[in-house]
Amino acid sequence: MIHETAMVHPTAEVADGVAIGPYSIIGEKVKIGEGTQIGSHVFIDKWTHIGKGCQIYQYASLGAAPQHLRYNGEETYVIVGDNNIIREYVTIHRGTPFGNGKTVLGDENFIMAYAHVAHDCILGNRVVMASYAALGGHVEIGDHAVIGGIVAIHQFVRIGTYAFIGGASAVTRDIPPYVTASGMKVKLYGVNVLNLQRNKVPEEVITGLRKAYKVLFRSPLTMEEAIKKVHEDPIYTLPEVQHMVDFIRGSKRGVTRR
């Protein structure tokens, strides 16, 4: 059902079962998948693609131009997967032609009120962003990560899968997968055991990650020495430990270690 006061551009593609609330605006070449529910006063700008079964609450804004001085109206995108929940006043900006060209959210993410996802960000699946969390441009967030309220993440930072960032934190370097981190000068506080257990990760994997964490982030070794030690340990046969090591090796901004 499309409310009579909603404005839908003639080039927009709206699938069956989509509901669009009063005074919402759907822009040029927008695509909305089957069963998605859009509340009142929502603004979805041009070139935004939304998957199936999403819930987009009142006053959210998706697909507006990126906040970048070099952007000059080029055709770029916001791509939102299936079954995402996007709450009140969330802002998600489209990509830039000198970045990814698109801002991407995977499936089943929960983006709480007033959160901001900047241009060229990539979010995986089942990510939680609490209220007032803000991502700078080009941020990457892995599956099952949880970002607490009032968290600011610097542009180009990566947040690993299953990571947890405590509220009111400032993140300027990469946060490895499977760990908890918090603070205005963010520090690591161990493996995110609770999130791993909730997602039924086997105990032997959690034990292996804890051992790897102690070597990589709590030993006096240099990072190169610590990686070598983990590589030589039987725990390196675990794919999750390998992923943690690969994440560290692939860091461009540097990894938060203390």
Count of CB atoms within 10 A of residue 232's CB?
9
pLDDT tens profile 189-239? 999 999 999 999 999 999 999 999 999 999 999 999 999 999 999 999 999
Annotated catalytic, 137?
Answer: yes
Fold of 196-249: Udp N-acetylglucosamine O-acyltransferase; Domain 2 (1.20.1180)
Question: Which residue ranges make up each domain of the chain?
Answer: 7-138, 196-249
Q: Please tell me the class of the 7-138 domain.
A: mainly beta
pLDDT tens profile 30-62? 999 999 999 999 999 999 999 999 999 999 999
Annotated catalytic, 33?
Answer: no
pTM above 0.85, yes or no: yes
Given 95, 99, 124, 137, the catalytic residue: 137
Annotated catalytic, 231?
Answer: no
Given 120, 136, 142, 148, the catalytic residue: 120
**258 pLDDT more than 90:** no
- Angstrom distance (rounded) from CA 173 to CA 132: 20
Given 93, 119, 138, 243, the catalytic residue: 119
